[in-house]
Amino acid sequence: MSDMPGTVNLRAYRGDKWLQQFRFLIGDQPVDFSTATLAAEARSGKGTFALVVAPAQIIGFLNLGLPPESLPWGTYDYDLEVTLDGETTTWVRGRLFIERDVTNELPVGGVSSALS
């Protein structure tokens, strides 16, 4: 595990459904996350926000997503931690760029500003 954490910069469009999938192997074997505790956060001057992280349906894959209320647009530092067998390790880190939506811009609270 000496190659961890890996650095992956990500880009998402605010207000749109977004998912990033990661594949993890130890040697040539997929990692089984079924008993793992997973956590991910994004942090900037706007605050710290929990990201959604869960095992995918295929062993060795994790899905990372934005919270339902989205995030304010801007640049964040993020990381993804995995706790397996009582040991917590940061597996991925990087920058998360949330781009500002133009047509249906969401205010900070996540409610549409479009007229009804």
- 91: domain CATH number? 2.60.40
Quick check: 81 and 5 in contact, CB under 8 A?
Answer: no
Read off the DSSP letter of residue 100: P
Model confidence over 38-85: pLDDT tens digits?
Answer: 999 999 999 999 999 999 999 999 999 999 888 888 999 999 999 999
Reference 22, options 82, 102, 92; nearest CA is 92
Q: Is residue 81 part of a domain?
A: yes
Q: Which residue has the higher pLDDT, 8 or 4?
A: 8
Q: Is residue 28 part of a domain?
A: yes
Q: Is residue 109 part of a domain?
A: no
The predicted model gives 25-30 an average pLDDT of 93
pTM of the predicted model as reported, rounded to 2 decimal places:
0.83
The range of the structural domain enclosing residue 16 comes to 6-48+71-99
pLDDT score, position 113:
42
Q: Is residue 106 part of a domain?
A: no
pLDDT score, position 51:
96
Q: Is residue 111 part of a domain?
A: no
Quick check: 60 and 82 in contact, CB under 8 A?
Answer: no
Asked if the model's pLDDT at residue 10 lies above 60, the reply is yes
- DSSP-assigned beta bridge partners for residue 84: 87
Q: Is residue 90 part of a domain?
A: yes
Q: Is residue 79 part of a domain?
A: yes
Q: Is residue 42 part of a domain?
A: yes
Domain count, the chain: 1
